[in-house]
Amino acid sequence: MINLDLLLKQNINISNQLIQSLKVLSMSKIDLDNFLKKENEENVMLDLKDYFSNEKFIADLIPTEKVAIKKETIDFDQVNSKKTTLQDYLIFQLIEKSLDPSRERVIKYLIYSLDSKGYLDISLKDVSTKLNVSISFVKDCQKILTSFDPLGIGAINLKDCLLAQIQTTDEKLKILIENYLMDLYENNYDKILKEMSINKTELLYLIKKLEDLNPYPGSTLDLINFEKLVIPEIFVSFDLDKINIEVNTSNPISLNQHYLELLGKNIDKDTKSYLRNKLSRTLLIKKSIDKRNQTLESIAKYLINYQKDYFIKNLPLRPISQKNLAKALNISESTVSRAVFDKYIESPKGIIGLHDLFSTATRLNTVSKDYILKIVGLLIKEEDKKNPLSDQKIEEKLKKMDIKISRRAIQKYRKILALPSSYKRKKIYEIKSEP
C-alpha cells in the first residue's frame, strides 16, 4: 500500500502561489461546491459521489425564506442583506488578482473611495499622503483598478474613464478622447475634421464607438445588485446569556480507491505519472479546504464572541476592523479579508454576512458608526412631530452624550437611514395627520 504521508512530502511542493490559485479560502460554500463538482468530473483520484448524493447537500441548496428578505432601509435588528454591492464585486476581483499586499492595500482603499458614478472621490495625491506611498505607486494601482470590470471604474475624470475602456491600438479614438471631448460637446466638428485629418464618415464612426462606452461605470451597480442564494457555514444559537457557535468544518474530499490501488501496481510510466499528478492535486485541495475551514472557524468564533452583545442583547456592534482581528489572531489582514468574504451566519437574528460584523469607530469617538447611526435614528423616531429636530439640534443632543460629530456627518447618516431633512419630515408629518 502507498504511504500517502511520504508521497505528500516527496511529491507535493505546495507553494503560496499554487494555494492562492485554488482560491479556496475566498470561496463561498456554493462556489466551493461548484469548484468540487467540476474537479470531480476532471480528476479521477477525487471521489465525491457520496457527498453530492447525500440529503444534507441537497437540503443546503434549497433557499429559505430568510434569504429572500428585502430591505429598503437599514434595519439594526438584522444585518442580513445578501445583495452584492459594487464594492463587493470589485473586492472579489481584487482577491482574484492575487496582487502583492502593498498594491492590494492601495486598491482596496481606492475601491472604498468611489462615488456613485464610479469615479474616485479623492485625489491621488491625498491617497499618497494618507497611505504614505509614492504618487507614482498610487497611479499604478489606480490604473490596475480601471482595468477591473466594469472597465473605467476608479477613473479620475471622464477622459481617464473612457481611455480605460478602449483598445490601445485604436489610435484615432484615443486622440479624439484625449484632445477633443470639449469640441464634441460644443459641436466643433469642422475643427476636429481639420486637425485630425479625417472625413465625416470616419468622424461619425468614431462618435458611434464613443457612444458605446460607459461614462458612468458606477451605474452598473443596479445590474449586479442582485439577490442571491447563500448557504450559511456558521450557526449561532443562544442559551440565556451564553452564545453557542458551530462552524461547518467538514471536508468532503476522499480518494478513489480503485485508482489509488492502481497507482501501487506495475503500470506504464505515463499512466503512473498522470495518476501521481492527480493524487498530488487531490491532496493539495484537501489540505487547502482543511486550512480554509480552520481559518474560518477561528475568525468566526473570535468575531461572534466579540460581538456577543449584538446577538444576545440587541446592542449596536462594537468597533473592530479586519486589521484589529488580524492582529488578535496573529494572521495577515489579507487572510481575514479572504476568509470572511461571502461567508454567512445563521442565527435567531436571521442570515448575516460575516463581514457585516466589522464596524469601525469614528475619528473623534470610541463608539462605532453603527451605534451613532442607531442613536440618530432613535432621536428622529422619538422627535416632536410638530417640531422635528434639525441637524444642529441632533448635533447638540449627541454632544450631551459625549459623541462628537459634525452636522455634515449627521446629514450623511440621515441619507444612509433614508431619512429626509427636518423641513421635509415636518411636511410628511403634516400630511399624515390630515383627516
Averaged over successive runs of 10 residues, the pLDDT of the chain (435 residues) comes to 48 45 77 86 81 49 37 36 67 80 90 86 88 92 90 89 84 89 79 88 85 78 51 88 89 88 87 89 87 94 92 82 92 87 88 85 59 84 89 88 82 82 80 59
Q: Which long-range contacts (CB under 8 A, 24 or more apart) does 359-362 make?
A: 359/316, 359/317, 359/318, 359/319, 359/320, 360/319, 360/321, 361/319, 362/405, 362/409
> Which pLDDT value is given to residue 231?
83
**CA triple 107-112-114, angle to 5 deg:** 100
- Report how far apart, in Å, the C-alpha atoms of 212 and of each of 162, 180, 419 are: 10, 17, 37
* pLDDT score at 341: 87
pLDDT at 244: 92
Question: Helices 269-306 and 29-42 meet at what angle, rounded to 10?
Answer: 170
- Per residue, the 3-state secondary structure of 85-106, as one string, reads CHHHHHHHHHHHHCCCHHHHHH
Residue 52: its pLDDT value, please? 54
